Amino acid sequence: MNDLDLLSDYRFLEEINRQIETGKRNELGNKKKSFNELKYFQKLIQNKLKILGSIQILYLPRFSTKHKQNQMWFDKKTNDIFWHIECQFFINTFYKWTITNLSTNETTLLNILKKFHNHLNETSNINDELILLKLKNFSHEQQICIYIENFGQKRKQFGKYEKRSFNTIIDLFHERIFIEYPILFISLINDENNMKEYLYKKTISN
């Protein structure tokens, strides 16, 4: 191999290294841009919630599971929040169901229950007929009660969990705090005490 060949090989390796370094810088830049964009939209959501109902949303670190699961977002065109809501239906234990991409006006209890029943009828993988039957009982607003978890010193007097009624999710969390996205604990009225007992046992065990 002569000097020209060595020089050619050296330049080739130098070009490869340059492309790798450029790729790394671009990747880092994209990550930083993505992170800054995420922080920007989080700020928009926080400000909107504060204006609508003095609601405070807290965000966990980026690596936390709940933060990664969060699909709440803000649409700048409509100036509206699109919600991620976790519903836990009590049937001796909790059946968890999550709904996303709901505009604020769509977060009525009636609409949430309707979408839940669509899920049960069309896409659920529940093989136990008894469980399915119990879940289908969650059909009328007047027959169910909803609890939310309290966070912050101001809400301590109301206990760890508080019974609430609402028109939209904004009413439900008025002057309250939630972490990442709302979680609703839902039971039938005649099962309310059992759910409360289950929730408080869960709190003690944690």
Q: Of 182, 186, 181, 174, give the one whose Cα is nearest residue 147.
A: 186
Percent of the chain with pLDDT over 90: 58
Torsion of CA 76, 50, 82, 146, to 10 degrees: -170
- pLDDT surpassing 60 at residue 19: no
What is the per-residue pLDDT for 148? 94
Is the pTM value of this prediction over 0.75? yes
Helices (H), ranges, the chain = 3-53, 65-69, 109-122, 129-135, 169-172, 192-205
Q: Of 156, 182, 186, 162, give the one whose Cα is nearest residue 56.
A: 182
What is the per-residue pLDDT for 156? 62
pLDDT in tens, 153-187: 665 666 789 998 888 999 999 999 999 999 999 99
Geometric angle at alpha carbon 192, from 122 and 127, rounded to 5°: 30
Residue owning tokens 């508080």? 162
pLDDT in tens, 42-65: 999 999 999 999 999 999 988 889
Q: How confident is the model at residue 23 (pLDDT cuts 50, 70, 90)?
A: low
